[in-house]
Amino acid sequence: MELSLPPQQAGAVLEQLQDQLRNSQEISPPAALPAPMRLLLSDGHPMWDKHSGGGRDGKEWDLSSDLERAETLYHSAPPNVRFFLDLLMDLPGQLLDADEICERSEGRFTGRSSLSGALNGIAKPYRESHRNYPFYWWKGDPSQYAMKPTVAELFRRARKRG
């Protein structure tokens, strides 16, 4: 049997086993391991090019010149879409699956179809921006969503201005 753990977790498990052997105590259940670390995508990560969603007919958002466009898109989006954008911009570069987004939504999204349906609310502001969607998604079970770190920074600035 082979056990593969990150160094910090492996050290903690080893220390616990050594303590138990030294004290000749009955083995207790292992402590809960921390949640796995999320994949964090930088702006240049190749996974962005592997997205399965559309909305890439415009230009990419530019931190130095698109603040007004971002502000217009953000503040014209329906409240549920703004919640979704807020979540992604506050977790830049992190892949969030649809189920997790629904769980965090405080009842705004009752399920995956509710989330994807709500995202139709960004279609008009997106078209008017002449930019790409500010987020990416990857089909799956469940689908995953993320926002590039520089786009997240741009939209955080836009959120503050409104």
Q: What is the mean pLDDT of residues 75-103?
A: 98
- Using CA atoms, how far residue 66 sits from 73, 107, 131, 143, 151, in Å, is 11, 32, 9, 28, 10
**146 confidence band (pLDDT: 50, 70, 90):** very high
Tell me the pTM: 0.76
| Domain boundaries, given as residue ranges, for the chain | 7-36, 46-161
Predicted confidence (pLDDT) per residue in 121-137, tens digit: 999 999 999 999 999 99
May I ask the CATH class of domain 46-161?
mainly alpha
Percentage of the residues of the chain whose pLDDT score is greater than 90: 71
Please report the pLDDT score of residue 25 as a whole number: 47
Residue 21: pLDDT over 60: no
CB 146 within 8 A of CB 72: no
Which of these, 52, 37, 43, 32, lies nearest to 93 by C-alpha position?
43
